[in-house]
Chain A
Amino acid sequence: MMPATSTATTLSPAELSYLHTSLTQTPPLRPDLRSSTEFRPLRAETDLLPTCNGSAHVSLTDGSEALVGIKAEVHRTAGANVTKRLDEEMREKMSLDEPSSTISAAAAAAGLDSNRKPRGHPDWISLNVDISTLRDDDALLIFLSEMLREPLLTTSTTTTTTTTTTTATRSSSLADMLVINSNWHWHLHIDILLLSPFTASGTSYPLPLLSLATHLALRSARLPKLKSQGEEDPLVDDDWESSLFLFPPPPTSARKPESSASGKAGPNEQHSIPPREAGRLLTMPPITLLVMTVNSNIIFDPSHSELAVADAVLAVSVSFSSDTTTHHHHHHHAQTPTLLAVRTIETPARDTMRGVPAAGEVVEGDLVPGVWRPRVGGVKREVLKRVVRAVLGASADDSGVAREVFDGLEAFLRS
């Protein structure tokens, strides 16, 4: 359980009860008249800091504003040979454990691949959140930075079902993309700055804002092109024009003129980013969405006052991938969201004051309609399932909120 979204709310029990009642309606009646899956409008710009490999600035209508800068440094890989040997051992184990022909073939392919390029290490990505009003060792800062860092480290093994066969495809994690050769790697420093003043009782939980800003910064991040090949010590090209995107823009999207640099390099050329062959997954950085539930209603991107009456607050992390082998009729669904994690965050509604009914005190545990009582208990499995379905999309027609958010962000990058 994560620490509370905020320490105390300034709302009275009567106000809380009013908010709670309006949010339990079908459809929920939100204070700013948004629909349950609607996000607050946001403004974003990317690639604005000249001294960073990638940067993004995102601001919401409530005035909260975040800036993310990503810097990449070349570091020597510690114990390079050890990781390689472990990797080989793992490959042998994999092929022994799984006798199924298709899977072992895929594993062998993955193994061959890892033989050529060693795997990445989670320590190569450091993420640091800075909120000026909080101490450096504040629990909220530590939890926020871990919640933002964790989805970046996962290697999801996605099973894609094509028309005839089921193949397991290993999508490479972000750390794997940072490998230069067995002795050298890139180290990513992701520094997140909350520019707007933060007060625990007056600002909405910054997690979704920081997550979206990090996503955009990673999408805009470029690494200089390597002149060195194979096991040579890294030597980079001075020309920033020829730098390569860490996450190349999806092929279906219209490319910006400067992004054509990644296309020019050609897929088979030796460079820092693993070449994308057919059948590999094109992954995109994850997004963490904040979802709250009130009774059976699911509400996305809750504002500060809405959070105050939440039955449960969930942080849902989603990654995106597109299979380059998908058939043409799938092309409008190029980015498939994959669930990475669902976490519960302590709701501030637990710490609120109980309302007292006009008739006077009632027996402990009795429910008086319209009178506020602090929320207790967790979240029902059924509701959790609906949250996941709402995020990922239930069917081919219903694309899900995650895809909508992704497409929205994509528009910022393309404009």
Chain B
Amino acid sequence: MPLDTASTYGQTLLRTDGRRWNELRRISASISTQPSTDGSSQFVMGNTVVVCNIVGPREGRGQRDTNNALIETEVTVAPFAQTDRRRRTKGDKRVQELQTTISSAFQAHLFTHLYPRSSITISLHVLSLDGALLASCLNAASLALVDAGVPMPSILAAVTSGVITSTDGITPSDPILDLNNSEELELPFLSVGTVSGLSEHQEDKVSVLIMESRIQIGQNGKKLEAMLAVGVDGCKQVRTIMGEVVRTHGTRILRGRK
């Protein structure tokens, strides 16, 4: 019998993989992984592995913006990324939506006005997929753009959050952070990406928010509000880890220069 989160969570307050409601999976990341590109990164979140390469900023081809750089995104989900092999073609609607979301998120976030008539190409390869597809892609792209030296006000960090609806009506519904693939199939969830505020006193700003499942807004328990709060808080944790990765890399480079 497959274990499901909804029926066991009420009793143990533990999810099927043993995490508490607000625990992230193990995150490890590295930057400058690809010598032949302008910026590159590898982002691992639990069993999800994403590799990102940046080409640019360079002279734009075809359609160009005279005031800003244009961000293009190519996402490849490897056929072997999940347990069952599934090949997605270049025209796959979900992949195209993912590309548009990532492009528009960074188009608004980066200081693109510094590179008029240029293009920045983000190329993402999803090598292993266990939930948090959009969030991992955004995080990997963020790190690679830092490596490429594209100016940005802060690191864009993303995470998924969901909600466990109690079945018996006694235990309250609990929001949960960073869902894996089996939880994503079972529970309503959203992907949220934030950038930190302009000054230290300002709150983080949500720059990406996508939810594909149905959920009640407002009424009993305020599920959506809870999910969003947990998600924004999770983004902060992820940003700290990503910042640490960048600093560690920078320190290593500086040490090498001496």
- Which single residue of chain B is at the shortest CB-CB distance from A189? B85
Q: Within the complex, which residue of A69, A197, A203 is in contact with B78, where a contact is CB–CB below 8 Å?
A: A69
B83 to chain A, nearest CB (A): 6
Q: Give the B-binding residues of A (Cβ under 8 A).
A: 49-52, 55, 62-65, 67, 69-71, 73, 128, 130, 132-133, 135-136, 189, 191, 193, 195-197, 203
A7 to chain B, nearest CB (A): 15
| B96 CB contacts on chain A under 8 angstroms | none
Q: Determine whether B81 belongs to the interface, using a CB cutoff of 8 Å to chain A.
A: yes
Q: Within the complex, which residue of B53, B74, B87, B125 is in contact with A128, where a contact is CB–CB below 8 Å?
A: B87
Q: Give the A-binding residues of B (Cβ under 8 A).
A: 34-37, 47, 51, 53, 55, 74, 76, 78-83, 85, 87, 89-90, 121, 123, 125, 127-128
Tell me whether A51 and B83 are in contact in the complex, defined as CB-CB below 8 angstroms, given that A136-B89, A197-B55 are known contacts: yes
A221 to chain B, nearest CB (A): 12
- The reply to whether A195 and B51 form a contact with Cβ atoms under 8 Å apart is yes
List 11 extra interface pairs beyond A71-B85, A130-B78, CB under 8 A.
Answer: A51-B80, A51-B81, A51-B82, A69-B78, A130-B76, A135-B90, A136-B90, A191-B85, A191-B87, A196-B37, A197-B121
Specify the main secondary structure of chain B where it touches its partner: loop
**4 closest A-B pairs (Cβ-Cβ)?**
A63-B36, A69-B80, A63-B35, A191-B79
> Within the assembled complex, what's the spacing in Å between the Cα atoms of A197 and B124?
11
> Within the assembled complex, what's the spacing in Å between the Cα atoms of A189 and B85?
8
Point out which of A55, A64, A132 has the most chain B C-beta atoms below 10 A from its C-beta: A132
- The reply to whether A49 and B51 form a contact with Cβ atoms under 8 Å apart is no
> Within the assembled complex, what's the spacing in Å between the Cα atoms of A49 and B89?
21
- Which single residue of chain B is at the shortest CB-CB distance from A193? B78
Q: Within the complex, which residue of A49, A69, A70, A132 is in contact with B123, where a contact is CB–CB below 8 Å?
A: A132
- Which single residue of chain A is at the shortest CB-CB distance from B80? A69
- The reply to whether B36 and A197 form a contact with Cβ atoms under 8 Å apart is yes
- Which single residue of chain A is at the shortest CB-CB distance from B83? A51
Tell me whether A195 and B34 are in contact in the complex, defined as CB-CB below 8 angstroms, given that A133-B74, A135-B90 are known contacts: yes
- The reply to whether B47 and A50 form a contact with Cβ atoms under 8 Å apart is yes
Tell me whether A197 and B37 are in contact in the complex, defined as CB-CB below 8 angstroms, given that A51-B82, A69-B80 are known contacts: yes
Q: Within the complex, which residue of B37, B82, B85 is in contact with A63, where a contact is CB–CB below 8 Å?
A: B37
B81 to chain A, nearest CB (A): 7
B9 to chain A, nearest CB (A): 26
A–B complex contacts, Cβ < 8 Å, 10 sampled: A63-B35, A64-B36, A69-B80, A132-B74, A132-B123, A189-B79, A189-B85, A191-B85, A196-B53, A197-B121
